[in-house]
């Protein structure tokens, strides 16, 4: 049996963290959460996720800086990052992708769309049961 994909969610919105945590665990993913950028950076090193879901707008170290640090660190640069943001501008999307994000999903999003993006980036082609 294949081990579950490990997902790290970095977001300061506690309600969203709780909802995503439950939703992804119900889809057979192993999930870890971080409520700010600094904690997210340390958890990326200790948890060693397969995918990172990252909010851009957070107090302290924001998602832009987290993305940049993750993509320049040899230990984390190969981990796909899905930027999960309420910023609607095409500039935000282009900037996130140019900084190394692998995908951008606008909040709120459909859970199936999120899972499909996770599986695509993880090299899978079906939803977990």
pLDDT score recorded for residue 89:
79
| CATH code, residues 1-10+29-86+100-123 | 3.40.50.2300
Domain boundaries defined on the chain: 1-10+29-86+100-123
| DSSP-derived 3-state class of residue 52 | strand
Tokens of 27: 């889809």
- pLDDT tier, 129 (very low <50, low <70, confident <90, very high otherwise): very low
Q: How many CB atoms lie within 10 A of CB 34?
A: 23
What's the pLDDT tens digit per position in 28-80?
Answer: 999 999 999 999 999 999 999 999 999 998 989 999 999 999 999 999 999 99
What's the pLDDT tens digit per position in 67-126?
Answer: 999 999 999 999 999 998 888 778 888 888 888 999 999 887 788 889 999 989 987 544
* Cis peptide bond upstream of 6, omega within 30: no
């Amino acid at each position: 049996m294949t081990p579950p994909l490990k997902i790290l969610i970095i977001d300061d919105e506690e309600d969203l963290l709780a909802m995503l945590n439950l939703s992804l665990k119900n889809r057979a993913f192993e999930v870890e959460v971080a409520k700010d950028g600094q904690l997210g950076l340390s958890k990326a090193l200790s948890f060693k996720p397969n995918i990172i879901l990252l909010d851009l707008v957070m107090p302290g170290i924001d998602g832009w800086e987290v993305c940049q640090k993750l993509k320049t660190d040899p230990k984390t640069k190969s981990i796909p990052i899905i930027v999960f943001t309420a910023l609607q501008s095409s500039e935000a999307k282009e900037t996130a992708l140019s900084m190394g994000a692998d995908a951008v999903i606008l909040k709120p999003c459909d859970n199936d769309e999120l899972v499909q993006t996770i599986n695509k980036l993880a090299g899978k082609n079906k939803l977990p049961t």
